[in-house]
Amino acid sequence: MKAAAHPRPESAAASQVMMQAIVQRRYGATPEDVLRLEQIARPAMDDDEVLVRVRAAGVDRGTVHLMTGTPYLMRILGFGLRAPKNAVPGWAVAGTVQALRDKARLRPGQHVLIIGASGGVGTFAVQLAKAFGAEVTGACRTGKTDLVRALGADHVLDYTREDITAGRHRYDVIIDIGGNRPLAHLRRALTPKGTLVITGGENGDALLGGIGRNLRAQLLSPFVSQKLTAFIARQRRADLVTVRDMAHSGAVTPAIDRSYPLSQAAAAVRYLADGHARGKVVIGI
> Are 77 and 176 within one domain?
no
Q: What is the pLDDT of residues 66-123, one digit of tens each?
A: 888 887 777 887 788 888 888 887 666 543 347 566 666 778 899 999 999 988 888 9
Q: What is the pLDDT of residues 139-165, one digit of tens each?
A: 998 889 999 999 999 999 999 898 998
> Are 106 and 27 within one domain?
no
Spatial CA neighbour of 272 closest among 128, 92, 80: 92
Q: What is the pLDDT of residues 267-285, one digit of tens each?
A: 988 888 888 888 888 888 7
171-177/111-115 β-pairing: parallel
> Are 130 and 187 within one domain?
yes
What range does the domain containing 201 cover?
99-230
CA distances from 112 to 107, 139, 150, 189, 200 (A): 10, 11, 17, 11, 18
- Higher-confidence residue: 248 or 92? 248
> Are 58 and 125 within one domain?
no
Give the predicted TM-score (pTM) of the model.
0.69
Looking up residue 207, the CATH number of its domain turns out to be 3.40.50.720
> Are 107 and 182 within one domain?
yes
CA distances from 264 to 36, 40, 245, 273, 284 (A): 10, 18, 32, 14, 10
Looking up residue 59, the CATH number of its domain turns out to be 3.90.180.10
230, 248, 273 — which closes off a domain? 230
230, 249, 269 — which closes off a domain? 230
pLDDT score of 146: 92
pLDDT score of 47: 66
pLDDT score of 9: 44
> Are 196 and 156 within one domain?
yes
Provide CB contacts within 8 A for 86, sequence distance 6+.
5, 6, 79, 80
230, 253, 273 — which closes off a domain? 230
**Highest mean pLDDT: which range of 45-59, 175-189, 241-255:** 175-189
The residue type found at 191 is: T
DSSP string for residues in 30-43: SHHHHEEEEEEEPP
pLDDT score of 240: 72
> Are 149 and 246 within one domain?
no
Count of domains forming the chain: 2
When pLDDT is cut at 50, 70 and 90, the band that residue 14 belongs to is: very low
CA distances from 255 to 115, 117, 157 (A): 17, 11, 19
Q: What is the 3-state secondary structure (H, E, C) of 75-101?
A: HHHHHCCCCCCCCCCCCCCCCCCCHHH
> Are 248 and 218 within one domain?
no
Looking at the predicted structure, is the pLDDT value of residue 29 above 60?
Answer: yes
pLDDT score of 250: 81
> Are 214 and 116 within one domain?
yes
